[in-house]
Structure 1
Amino acid sequence: MNLGQDPSLAMESKNVVSLPGPDEPVDFTNHVLPILGERCQSCHNAPYDKNGRTIHPKAGLRLDTYEWVMKGNLDDTVVEAGSLENSYLYEVITLDEEDDMFMPPKGGALTAGQIDAIKRWIEEGAKPSAGGTGNTASDMGKGISFHNHIFPLIEERCLDCHSEPYVKNGRTIHPKAGLRLDTYEWIIKGNLDGTIIEKGNAEESTLHAVITLDADDPEIMPPKGEPLTEEEINMFKQWIIEGAKENPSDTFVPEKKEDISAKPTGNEKVLSLVDQLSKRLKPPSKPQMDAAQKSGALVTLLSARHSMVRAEFSSGPNLIKNDAIGALSGIKNNVSHLDLSRTSVTDGVLSEVKKFKNLTWLNLKNTSITDRGIEKLASMPYLTYLNLVSSKVSDQSIKSIETLTKLEELYLWNSDVSEQGIARLRKALPETKILH
């Protein structure tokens, strides 16, 4: 993992806070980011090394770039463009200072001018830039236009493989994977596997997933030529976050996000499950939490009102191995969220994970987990989310997955599960959202 700089050593390089004028559009880089840099990034920056120990951002939340601010953390997004009511960032900076959830916890409240700048930025659409008319992500003050910004890229990089059928030497050439990208309607439709865009959610959009793979991954798109630039990727991401609209002026009403967290998301069934589990247990003690942190994971309570915790291993594949999970044994009954993605864990770790009886959310994305490991997860009573993207799992795991009767979200993209296997899973788990 590329570590960032200790925030206490980086403050000199932060931009000077400059507040927007009354009639001036709020610019994220010039107005909002300096406020976050001055008041928030001591706790919510990139992971960094301090005395040989990796310090992770609190609550798994980074606020050091536009992309990280918009991504949020495992709980949910913290900013919803155009909605103060649904923007957790605005909520916590406007609480009473005596409130346990008030932010920032040190140094007093933000000034009225700083709060107003963040408020106006969200109301104006939480855009990366306040103005501009170019075709780059930094020039999209009026929102990203499908026709002006997105389709030209698709036309240049994707239509060789994903256009309408055509005849060549007497043979009909069909679009690869049955996916057409030559019109807005076809892009939104997707293919027989399903949609490739989840409006408002880049992280669950297959289109975003395939353009952000490592350059040497055989599944990266486009498969020929250089990968998309970071700016081009961010443009696609922001377009999806804004609702994947054909025109910036179109209205987009986000669906309630089906996530497992302590903060209301509209998924009352899952929230009720986590709440019920929480009420059965005492919160972990400080010594227990301190011991758990030695695992190398970021370990945090779901909220101040919960006894359930999340453990997120984000220190990179070369640092996190099977034995890391042992440090969580003292709080294993309190762990509801466990993120082992992109680590070097193997099947053996799932023998320990099986002991986390109250686990509801498990991410094994980009690991070497195989069918042998998945067998150990069979019949876990509360598992509602399982991510096996880019794992070694195949059709042999279907029997085990079918026993996860509470499963609501299953991610199998870029795994070895076949189309026939997916059909079998959809029949066995008709209420489960399966992305393949």
Structure 2
Amino acid sequence: MRKVFLFIALAAMIGTGCKHENTPQPSGAPTPTPNPGPNPNPNPNPTSVDTVLCFQRDILPIFLSNCAMSGCHDAVSKQDGFQFTDYNSIVSKEFVSGNANETELFEKITEDNDDKRMPPPPRPGLTATQIALIKRWINEGAKNTTCSSGCDSTNFKYSSAIKPLTEQYCRGCHNSAAASGGIMLDSYDGVKTVALNGRMLGAIKHLTGYQAMPQGGSKLSDCQILQVEKWIAAGAQNN
């Protein structure tokens, strides 16, 4: 009987020693924060340079390449009284900042009737991307903003650097339907031809004996010119 009593007492002591109690925190110590586990969306509203729309970089080149050529809407011709060579001339007539659908130039570039569409045939119409950019720019207040080109000179592939550059600055004047100067830059073969014969670099570097390009616009940035130089030096590949 005495052995049974001793066994029960010992078991009680062991049970008391294994009891877990919260250790009091020192005064002034921060309260531990429970770990909620991994965040399934650590950055629900990321900001990137792709969200920035810039007039001088993204919008003006579209007008210069597709609208501001001789006989159309350059500073001399001013067809139908419209000039599209700089910010002030673009927003000066029949323009409603904040409302693309009420702005005449937006109506013209989205016109279904070829007889009324701008640029007029046989020139190709603006691309869906270009139209979307102009619409967004107008609806966001049509601001005259200037910003970095975002150029990366280590990227000189045709698909990701050279083709976008020619589409933005050259395609409007130099395309298969209306090849200004006999130069077509709306295909890889056309771009490669003027790249390898030296006319492309001569024009964008504004060298003597070449017509400076983009016509009527600012010279390409040093980084953009370097991209073209590197691409040509690497064999002007369709990469």
Scaled by the length of structure 2, what TM-score is found?
A: 0.41
Higher strand share: 1
Higher helix share: 2
* Greater RCO, 1 or 2 (C-alpha within 8 Å, sep 6+): 2
